[in-house]
Structure 1
Amino acid sequence: MIWVTAYRLMLILAAVVGLIYTWMALGSPLNPLVLFTVQSNLLLTGFYSWRVVSRWRSPAELKGAVTLYIVITGLVWHFLRMRGASPFEHLSLQGHGLGNFLLHYVTPVMAVIDWLFFDRIAPRPKWAAALTWLVYPMAYLAFALVRGALLPPDAWKRYPYPFLDVDRFGYGGVALISLALAVCFALLGYGLIALHRLINQASRTTADPPAPATH
């Protein structure tokens, strides 16, 4: 549908503008690439760009993975970095303001809407996918810890996020935090699958006319 394509183009635009603002604010072109926020939004941009130009329906598991990663980006930012503050508190057209708002709030919300209400007739994602989706966050964790161990203490974003700071929590503490986050991410994945199935089933029920009564 044309309006679905238009919606996805708006989603891509929001991600691209947010990424440009972030790149401009952080200076070096390589710095932002260490951030999960940037990586997840790049994945989102690539996936939906492919969906716009391709006629092939994407597997539900692939779309679910992209959705989960961008939702993780938004929730971690809001609850662990912003500590539940208003999303509009630091919104501005300069520095990180607009970029943060677009990459942490706009793209996650738009992606969830797409996940729930578009491609509803696609094959249902399997429950096991929620665990498979954790491979990328775990790989990112390994990348962040190895990178931090190899960099000097004064390096920029030696540990990309405060809760991964080995100097502060030690490897044991970071392992416990990571385990707790992994459990939360798995539950989040199951939640996305459950909502997708629920809405998909409701859509099918609404679309199928009731069987005529027999006497």
Structure 2
Amino acid sequence: MLILAAVVGLIHTWMALGSPLNPLVLFTVQSNLLLAGFYSWQVVGRWRSSAELKGAVTLYIVITGLVWHFLRMRGANPFEHLSLHGHGLGNFLLHYVTPVLAVIDWLFFDRAAPRPTWAAALRWLVYPMAYLVFALVRGALLPPGAWKRYPYPFLDVDRFGYGGVALMALALAVCFVLLGYGLIALHRLVDRDSRRAVVSTPSSPADTAAPTR
């Protein structure tokens, strides 16, 4: 279901934007492509599950949802703009459905994977920082007025200057690291509770019966 939501959302977004390359500029599209690719690769069994890699993919899609909801939509009702026309369906699937499903999967499924270390939250920051560099370099190379010269308002150098963008990027980086720690903490908490539940499950009468001689 998660893969289906990501694929449908991506197709709908590509069709709404009407260009094969423009969507790739957006962190939303990139993070959902990573999500769809990771889970598709797992479904076909091509690689062993890695909690650290899965955590990175989960963090990026959660960032997508939170940034959209709180910085772009200002906390508005997510169902308000849901529509089969324009960007409505794609935005809803890529910013709400896939993040929620990814978090559910992160917490309650694939428990056999080794849990990630706390240091993973810092390593997960590499991709958002790389995206920041990409967005700023691309914006500097494009002429004023180009489509999505700066993909997101808080990256708009023309408006805030490099100093202002750097401060906002630093604040977001701190939030992303804390969010990563939160995902790891929740993963460990659920893992501990599930292990405790297994240990405390009473044995069946057949298991406790005295052996016959």
TM-score (norm 1): 0.92
1:25-46 superposed Cα distances (whole Å, 9 cap, x missing partner): 1111100000000000000000
* Aligned residue in 2 for 1:175: 166
* Aligned residue in 2 for 1:137: 128
* Aligned residue in 2 for 1:200: 191
Contact map agreement 1:40 1:73 (CA 8 A) in 2: yes
1:116 counterpart letter in structure 2: L
Larger radius of gyration: 2
* Aligned residue in 1 for 2:78: 87
Please give the alpha-carbon distance, in whole angstroms, between the structure 2 residues aligned to 1:81 and 1:32.
Answer: 17
Deviation at 1:122, TM superposition (A): 1.7
Please give the alpha-carbon distance, in whole angstroms, between the structure 2 residues aligned to 1:29 and 1:211.
Answer: 57
* Aligned residue in 1 for 2:146: 155
* Aligned residue in 2 for 1:76: 67
Change (3 A) 1:201 1:14: same
- Given candidates 2, 13, 23, the residue that maps to 1:32 is 23
TM-score (norm 2): 0.93
Deviation at 1:120, TM superposition (A): 1.6
Please give the alpha-carbon distance, in whole angstroms, between the structure 1 residues aligned to 2:115 and 2:19.
Answer: 42
2:31 counterpart letter in structure 1: S
Deviates more, 1:60-69 or 1:201-210: 201-210
Q: Stretches of 4+ moved more than 2 A in 1?
A: 209-212
1:120 counterpart letter in structure 2: R
Gaps of 5+ in 1: 1-9
Deviation at 1:209, TM superposition (A): 3.4
* Aligned residue in 2 for 1:189: 180
- Given candidates 128, 141, 146, the residue that maps to 2:119 is 128
Contact map agreement 1:148 1:159 (CA 8 A) in 2: yes
Q: Tell me how many residue pairs correspond in the alignment.
A: 203
Deviation at 1:208, TM superposition (A): 1.1
1:56-71 paired onto structure 2 within 5 Å: 56-71=47-62
Gaps of 5+ in 2: 204-213
2:21 counterpart letter in structure 1: L
- Given candidates 108, 111, 125, the residue that maps to 2:102 is 111
Deviation at 1:56, TM superposition (A): 4.5
1:39-58 paired onto structure 2 within 5 Å: 39-54=30-45, 56-58=47-49
Deviation at 1:124, TM superposition (A): 1.2
2:13 counterpart letter in structure 1: T
Contact map agreement 1:59 1:123 (CA 8 A) in 2: yes
Change (3 A) 1:85 1:210: closer
Deviation at 1:55, TM superposition (A): 6.5
1:48 counterpart letter in structure 2: Y
* Aligned residue in 1 for 2:207: none
Contact map agreement 2:41 2:47 (CA 8 A) in 1: no
Identity over aligned pairs, percent: 86
1:8-29 superposed Cα distances (whole Å, 9 cap, x missing partner): xx11010000001100111111
SS of 2:200's equivalent? coil
Contact map agreement 1:121 1:200 (CA 8 A) in 2: no
